Structure 1
Amino acid sequence: MSASPTRVFIARLAGIAVFDPVGDQVGRVRDVVVALRLAPRPPRVLGLVVEVQPRRPVFLPITRVTVIESDAIIFDGRLNIRRFQQRESETLVIAEMLDRTVRFCDTGEPVSVVDVAMEPTRTRDWLLSKVAVRRRTKRGLRRRGESLVVDWDAVEGFSAVEHGQGAAGLIAAFERMKAADLAGVIHDMPEKRRAEVADALGDERLADVLEELPQDDQVEILETLQVERAADVLEAMDPDDAADLLGELPDEQRERLLTLMEPQEAAPVRRLLSYEDYSAGGLMTTDPVIVAPDATVAEALAQIRNPDLNPALAAQVYVCRPPTATPTGRYLGTVHFQRLLREPPRTLVSAVVDAELDPLRPGMTLEEVAMLLAAYNLVAGAVVDENGHLLGSVTIDDVLDHLLPEDWRESVMDAGAADPPSDPEEEALRGRT
């Protein structure tokens, strides 16, 4: 490991790409696994948790890592794809150590862990050597206190169970991670740590993560939040995802949350809850891209350029008479984004609208919706009521979500039926103390 630095701060490894010797990327770093030992002996680094597709965490022994750089990790090419399962004797540095409250051994002063560094030894072992900490202020950690780096044996408290551990450092480490990937990390956390991370995430970020989690995880996390916060997070979710989640809750709890939501945010969710689960009405989102007939092509393109817009929703624009919020005025037709790209910017959308395509009806079954989208090669379809008002849009990702088995998200995150045999070298390394 001659090309590696002599000291590596572990939080900076989160999300770093992992490459084999020929330069092919095999995954990204999720965490670092260590074995705590009796003081004052520093913990031994056992290996890395690397996420490979499809969202499977695997264990990469530290002995197989050949290069650690600021933007890449290279290993010798040997990787067992058996799903990583944390053992009782093991600790995850990013998930469990960051934000922990520890104390200086000499003064007993409490400090918060910001990062942890590892260094190689002459015997090619890697040990945790340094701890980056932040001092508390008189008002706790609401304002930043002094930060400093100390030796591992200068602090104590890593082995104690801490209640109310923060998660700001962990969230910062995974800041660049996509919501779907962060959902995989949270899914694998113990219940206590999962609640702490959810509490520390912003409403928008938590809403994005919840949409990617299995429903059991969604319900569990939502129930750990203060009820007012839970309502705020539901407001930040797409209405169809919020309706799906609320549909899993008891009637009384669902109604309380809907009452706490802003009326304009709760209204579309209530409408969605009134439809059958596997109908076009139950599948649709109430926030598609809608423009009036006097809008220009340039104005329509500006709306679908929104980076936060679901790609399937951005594929087409619905032209409706005012009001343009669902349920809209009379639905006039659809303009596909490829057509918009071919037209002069000043052209009115009413001149290029496709009025021949039959819209979906809210009572259509899942199978009928799937067949219509397949027949016309569509990634989304307008849902229109009997009076010609646009109610929303069904996207292909929601159709697939409901066509797949109910536990498909758990299957992706927990896949392990085809695991290969255990790796003798890995077992020997992880069995050491």
Structure 2
Amino acid sequence: MSLTVKEINGLIQWIDDGFKPVKKPHGKGWLKRKKPPGKEQMPVKLFDGNGLHLLVTPNGSRGWRYRYRFAGREKLISLGVYPKTGLQRARDKRKEVEQQHADGLDPSVVRQEKRSQEKAARLNTFAAAIWEWSDRYHTKTGAAKSTKVRNERIVKYLVVGLGKTAVAEITRPAMLSTVETIEKEHGTETAHRALSLARLFFEHLAVKGMITGDPTVGVRQEIGEVVDKPRSAIVEPKKIGLLLRDIWNYQGQPATIAALKLLAHTFLRPGELRQANWSEIDFESAEWIIPTTRLKQRRTHPEPHLVPLSDQAVAILQELHQITGPVGFVFPSTRKGRPLSENAFRVALLNLGYDGDTHHAHGFRKLASTRLHALNFDSRIIEKQLAHAVPGVAGKYNTYDYAAERRDMLQSWSAHLDSLRTGDNVVAIKSAPRR
């Protein structure tokens, strides 16, 4: 005989009342048909027929179960919790799994596969995927807390427009619409930052084989241009000498001091320098190879960037090698397993009395470019060492790397910096002949 809702509720109430003796049984059916159980007999199964029963346990849980046989084995599957899943709904669910069984399928396996698919779908949404990537990306790159907070705010803006969409289904029009909304609500610079962050994310997905195309391609030219604010830099020779003396006398962490010195000697981008690994340094050939993945201009600069090392740069690295080598990050953070943060340079320069309006870590590039041009070095050699993209036909067809010329220039540059730092008569460095 099948259960009724009144019977179920009556028995459950009697159980909840602590099995108090009753003069009149609850309902008309179950308690009349069977002897009421004692507490020691819990849990209680209320059978509805055809394998369906309601399991009532001492802790108060009440769940529908369906018992069936598959491949010679008895199996049990949950069909919901009472009263959220009512009697009729439980019977409907039983019919669904009975049909699966009739089709030769194991209902438990069908459910597991469905849950796996739903989980994969959730993980493959833009929101789930970009948040997971963001956490790993900022940890891997050793981003400053302020940078992580800023980028997480931008991720939220992107998620508003794309969050529920599967990453493989995001189109360029959808990407453009989202970025245009960000530009309208938060400004052009933030829109460009959002697009850059999205581009890094989609590059990651492409490498993992999760997508075949990049929906950020072509979007940049559809939004406004950002007017770059020049980063501050000291370019006067006497002030450069003072800056260098301050750095050489700085009593900070060895990795930070060495990094600042090498920014001056190599004029790399701070982000390219601080994440360096000892595997990139070749002391024998006095070369530093920056992998393409860390280059800002990696789209237009598909090859690793060669940095010829002057004698002075080699000496700085050899001294640091005794402290942070022989493997891992060249400039490790005090936080284990991470490189120096972006903020480390700013804090060090502030400690030396140079705020962002006086001299920025990125300003060593402007310092070097300005002085080397003033010293009559060939612009092509300087731009090559700065890893700048050369526009137009020249950039497309001129593949000469100026390696020998750059080595000579950097050695002369280091000697020039030494003269400025020590206050000796400034060495009149000889520029490479113009080609």
**Band of TM-score, shorter chain:** under 0.3
Q: Which has the higher helix share?
A: 2
Q: Which has the higher strand share?
A: 1
